[in-house]
Amino acid sequence: MLLSTRFYLCSIYREDVYILALMTGELPVLLVLEFLHRVFDVLKGYFGSITRKSLTENFSLAFQLLEEMLDNGYPMITEPNALNSLLAPPSMMQSLAKTFTGKSSVSETLGDGAMSVIPWRRQGVAYTANDIFFDIVEEIDCIVER
């Protein structure tokens, strides 16, 4: 008995980098393409530029980011604010601390951005005044007879 599995491939090409997604079933293509663009934007935000060197030097962080962005093959957290609160971006001090103490860059607690109702806004943002400003434009269209 011959079993065959179909695979589907989606890819994007940005700034001399290919990002590929391999799927075992049919999915909405725009969902996959949007997710790949989000992955590129998040990695670029973390590493500055996406090159072979930056990905190999920060492989564990890139893997942790992908692990947070996907849960069992489904996109979960794709907003940079929420990911920054979960995983700190790489810095020189962080790499030195990791070398000497062995401490991970993963946050000990769940970040504020992950618990917000609005995913792109941090939780607990408050303004001093609750004002709403409207621009009202009045127009009258009429015909006047003499």
Instruction: Give tens-digit pLDDT for 33-67.
Output: 999 999 999 999 888 888 888 888 888 888 989 99
Q: Is position 124 within any domain? A: no
Q: How many domains does the chain have?
A: 1
Q: Is position 72 within any domain? A: yes
What span, in angstroms and rounded, lies between the C-alpha atoms of 67 and 12?
Answer: 20
pLDDT band at 146 (very low <50, low <70, confident <90, very high): confident
Q: Is position 18 within any domain? A: yes
Q: Is position 16 within any domain? A: yes
75: nearest Cα among 66, 84, 64: 66
What span, in angstroms and rounded, lies between the C-alpha atoms of 108 and 37?
Answer: 28
Tens digits of per-residue pLDDT, 20-36? 998 888 888 999 999 99
More confident residue, 18 or 110: 18
Q: Helix, strand or coil for residue 80? A: helix
CATH value at residue 23: 3.30.450.60
Domain span holding position 79: 8-115
106: nearest Cα among 123, 122, 92, 90: 90
Question: According to the model, what pLDDT value does residue 42 have?
Answer: 92
Tens digits of per-residue pLDDT, 103-137? 555 555 555 545 555 666 666 667 777 778 888 98
CA dihedral 101, 122, 60, 47 (to 10 degrees): -100
Q: Is position 142 within any domain? A: no
The answer to pTM > 0.85 is no
Average the pLDDT over 78-87 and give the result. Answer: 81
Q: Is position 26 within any domain? A: yes
Tens digits of per-residue pLDDT, 85-109? 778 777 655 555 555 565 555 555 5
Q: Is position 44 within any domain? A: yes
Question: According to the model, what pLDDT value does residue 84 have?
Answer: 80
Q: Is position 99 within any domain? A: yes
Please calculate the CA angle 36-57-43 and round it to the nearest 5 degrees: 25
